[in-house]
Amino acid sequence: MDIHIYDEGFGELEADLSGAPGRVQRGATRVLAGPVRRRLTRIQKEDAAGHRQLKHLPDAIGSDMIGPLELEVGFNKEGQGELANIIAFGSVNNGPVYDFRARQHAAIPAILDDFADMAEDAVFGGTRE
């Protein structure tokens, strides 16, 4: 009995997978700065819109990449954005104007899908099916 293991492609696979961590890191930054940033900013602006007394509140929402894998989305402390803490959390005399976290939490599965697609592409060279 003679056993032969065909392993010709393993060298290429090993070389390709050795670059995956770097591709995942670069891809994660692109996903965070692109679709995730746009989605979360849009959600916050939509949630902040339509209040009779706070017509310019959506204009006070912005986003910044504060590091390669750090995104900050929230109120700029200008104009009606200066009222952000009272609007979002309420005060002694007033309740919060809206729940600014609910739709962000609802977006988590879509955000995870964005990262999963990127990671699969980085490792296997294609998107998930």
Place of tokens 């390669």: 68
User: DSSP of 70-105, one letter per residue?
Assistant: EEEEEE-SSGGGGGHHHHHH--SS---SS-SSHHHH
The band of 128, judged by pLDDT with boundaries at 50, 70 and 90, is: low
Q: What is the mean pLDDT of the chain?
A: 83
Question: How does pLDDT run across 64-118, given as a tens digit for each residue?
Answer: 999 989 999 988 888 777 887 788 788 888 888 777 788 889 999 999 999 999 9
pLDDT, residue 87, reads: 80
> Does residue 39 contact residue 110 with C-beta atoms inside 8 Å?
yes
Question: How does pLDDT run across 32-59, given as a tens digit for each residue?
Answer: 999 999 999 999 999 888 888 788 888 8
The whole-angstrom separation of Cα 53 and Cα 31 is: 35
Place of tokens 């940033």: 37
Look at residues 23, 26, 35, 44 and name the one whose alpha carbon lies nearest to residue 114: 35
pLDDT, residue 1, reads: 66
pLDDT, residue 115, reads: 92
